[in-house]
Structure 1
Amino acid sequence: MAPLSRRTAVVALAAAATSAALPGTAVAAHRVRPLPLAHAHNDYLHKRPLHDALAHGFTSVEADIFLIDGELLVAHEPAELDPSRTLRSLYLDPLLARVRANHGSVYAGYHRPVQLLIDIKADGVAAYQELHRQLRPYRRMLSTVTAGHVRLGAVTPVISGDRAARGAMEAQPVRHAFYDGRLDDLAAQNPAPASFIPLISSNWTQSFGWRGEGPFPAAERARLASIVGTAHARGQRVRFWATPDQPGSARDALWSELRAAGVDHINTDDLAGLRDFLNR
C-alpha cells in the first residue's frame, strides 16, 4: 500500500463517498450526539457499513475479516466474501476522510477515540501481519503503542476473534492495534497491562443466567460489579456479547443493568434501538 502522501486520490474518493453517504459529513457530525456506550456488533451487515453507525452516534464498530489472496475482506461467513468489500474501503478510508474533515476527530468536537473492533475469523497470525501492514499508512489517525507508551488517536483498532497473533503483537516495538482480552486475562496472576489489553470482552450467556426477565439475581449483580470493578481498576473497558437484542422490556432491563454497573460498551445490531435507549 502506498504511503499517505501518495494516497491523495484514494482519500479524495473516500471523502466523496462519505459525503455522498452522509450529506454534509463535517456538518452532520456536529448534529450527532456521540454515545460512548454504543457498540455496533456486526456493523458491516448494515445497509451502509460504518456510516449508519456514525449517523446514530456509535463510538465503537465491529468488522469481521478474512485474509484472502493478500487482501482483508469484510464478511461474517466465507460464502459472503466480496472482493470489493475490503477493510480499507469500508472502514479505514472512510474513517480517514472523516478524521481529516473534522480536524482530527471522527466526530467534530469529540476528542475521544472511536473503537474499531476487528474480529479475525481465520488465519490469525497471517491476517494480523497483513493488518499491521495495512494499518501503518493510517497511523496518524490511529492510537499507537511505542515501547509500551500509548498515544491515543482518533481511532483505536482492537483485535478480537482469532487472536493467535498475541505473542507477535506483544513483541512489536511499535503497534497500531490492541488486544481484546477475556475474563481469563482479568483473572491472571500477572495480567497484561491496559496498554496491550484495553478491553475485556465476554459472552454474557457463559457467565450469567439472567436474560432480563424478572429481577436480576443478587449474586449475578455482584459478579458483574466485580468484573467491571476489577477491569476499571486496571484501566480496562468491559463489553459483553450475546446479550438479548430483541426489542422489549427484557432487553431494556438488561441494558439498564449494564449501564448501571458501568459496562463500557453495550452490544447491539439495533442501532436506532440502542441510540433511543441511551438518549432516554
Structure 2
Amino acid sequence: MRPTTTSGLLLLLNLPLFSLAKATIDQVVLSLENANPGALQYPTQFTQDIVPKFIHSHNDYWRDVPLLTALSMGVMSVEADVNLFNGTLFIGHENAALTPNRTFDSLYIQPLLRILDAQNPSTAFTVNQTTPNGVFDMASDTPLQLLVELKTDGVETLPFVLEALEPLRSKGYLTTFANGTLTQSAITVVGTGNTPLEQVKELSPRDFFFDAPLMQLNDPSLNTTWDPTLSPLASTDYEVAVGWVGIGNISEAQLANITKFVGDAHSRGIKARFWDIPGWPIVARTNVWTVLMNNGADWLNADDLEAASSF
C-alpha cells in the first residue's frame, strides 16, 4: 500500500483538490482549519499534554489563579483552607485574608464542576461509560486530591463542607466508600486541620475522608483502624518527624524515621505526605525533596509549584 500523502489526507477531510496546488504546510493547515474545524478540535483538550505529577499544592489559594495554576503544571493535589462565617465557607489562612468573593464554592466547587463537565461530554460515544473522567486528559482515571483544611470549629464546619460538595456528589464526581466498597472517581476529598475524626468515621456513605496522623498510625489510644476507606492520605510535620534541614548528611536515625513512617502508611495502602519542608536555601529544599522521594514519600509538598513540577 502506498503511504498516505498530503493530498490523500486532504481528500479524507473533504477538502477540494484545487487547494493542493503547490500548497505550503501553512496553507494546508489553514485550509484544514477553515474547512473542517470540528475534525481538528480535540473535545477534552482542557488538560491536553499536561503530565500529572504527585505534587501537593500547599495553600493553593495563594496562587495567582487558585486550582487552575496548579492544574496547568500537572499538580494532582490542592489544598483549600475553609473558614465558616454566617453559614458561608470562605477561603483563607487567617481572618485578615478573607474576602466576600473568595469562597469555597467560587474558587473550587464551581471551577471543578465546569472542568469535569467538559471532560465528560454526554454523547453517543459515552453512553455506556460508568466511571467519570478526571481532570487530566493524559490520565483520565487519576483522581484529583482536594485537601480541605477546616480552620474553624470542625464539628460545626463539617456539615457545611459536606453540603458544599453536593454539586460534585450529585454528578458522581466524588470518590465514595459505601456498602463496604471504595469507588474511586474524579475527585478524592480529604479533610485535615480541625476535621473531626469521629464525625468522618460516622459518614455513610463516605465521600469526605480523613488525613491520618502519619506518626501515629500504630497508636492504640486513637482507637482507629487506618485504611484507605477512611484515610487515603496520612501526613505529618517534617520538622517534627525528621528534622534534617537538607544541609550536610542526613543521620541514620532521621532516615530511619522517614522509612518507618512511610512503611507504616504503605502497609495499610495509605499514601504518605510530609509538610513544613524547608523552603530555603534552595539546595537544602532540593536535597530534602530528593531524600523523601527516594525513600517512598508519595506526595511532594510544595509552595513553589514551578520548581516542584520541574524537579
TM-score, structure 2 normalization: 0.77
Offset of 1:268 from its aligned partner?
Answer: 1.0
Query: What's the counterpart of residue 116 of structure 1?
Result: 146
For the residues of structure 1 that align with 2:165 and 2:49, how far apart are their CA atoms? 29
The answer on whether the counterparts of 2:214 and 2:265 sit within 8 Å (CA) in structure 1 is: no
Q: Any idea what SS the aligned residue of 1:234 has?
A: coil
Q: Structure 1: give runs of 5+ residues left out of the alignment.
A: 1-23
The 1-side partners of 2:273 and 2:267 are apart by 15
- TM-score, scaled to structure 1: 0.86
The amino acid across from 1:213 in the alignment is I
1:178 touches 1:198 (CA, 8 Å); kept in 2?
yes
RMSD: 1.6
After the TM superposition, list the runs of 4 or more consecutive aligned residues in structure 1 that deviate by more than 6 angstroms.
none
8 Å CA contact 1:185–1:191 kept in 2: the answer is: no
Specify the code of the residue in structure 2 equivalent to 1:112: T
> Are positions 1:167 and 2:184 aligned together?
no
Aligned position for 2:109: 92
Counterparts of 1:182-193 in structure 2 under 5 Å? 182-189=213-220, 191-193=225-227
Relative to 1, partners in 2 of residues 1:39 and 1:113: Cα closer, same or farther, differing over 3 Å? same
Identity across the alignment (%) = 35
Secondary structure of residue in 1 paired with 2:51: coil
State the 1:64 CA deviation.
0.3
**Higher RCO, Cα 8 Å, sep 6+:** 1
Given that 2:51 and 2:138 are in contact with CA atoms closer than 8 Å, whether structure 1 keeps it comes out as no
Match of 2:52 in 1: 34
CA distance in 2, matches of 1:86, 1:44: 10
Rg: which structure is higher? 2
Separation (CA, whole Å) in 2 of partners of 1:146 and 1:198: 15
Q: Which has the higher helix share?
A: 1
| Greater Cα shift, 136-145 or 228-237 | 136-145
User: Is residue 177 of structure 1 aligned with residue 208 of structure 2?
Assistant: yes
Residue 129 (structure 1) aligned with residue 159 (structure 2): yes
| Structure 2 unaligned spans of 5+ | 1-41, 121-132
- Measured in 2, the distance between the counterparts of 1:31 and 1:170 equals 38
Name the residue aligned to 1:221.
255
The equivalent of 1:16 in structure 2 is: none
Contact 2:113/2:167 (<8 A) preserved? no
Deviation at 1:246, TM superposition (A): 3.0
For residues 51-72 of structure 1, the C-alpha deviation after alignment (integer angstroms, 9 at most, x for no partner) is 1000111000001000111111
Q: Which secondary structure state, in structure 1, belongs to the residue aligned with residue 236 of structure 2?
A: strand
- Greater CA deviation, 88-97 or 53-62? 88-97
C-alpha deviation, 1:184, in angstroms = 4.9
Distance 2:212 2:156 in 1: 20
3-state DSSP of counterpart to 1:150: strand
Cα offset for 1:188? 2.5
| 1:250 maps to 2:284 | yes
Over 3 Å counting, the alpha-carbon distance change for 1:87 and 1:141 in structure 2 is same
How far apart are residue 174 of structure 1 and its match?
1.2
Return the offset for 1:171.
1.3
Equivalences for residues 6-85 of structure 1 within 5 A: 26-35=44-53, 37-85=54-102
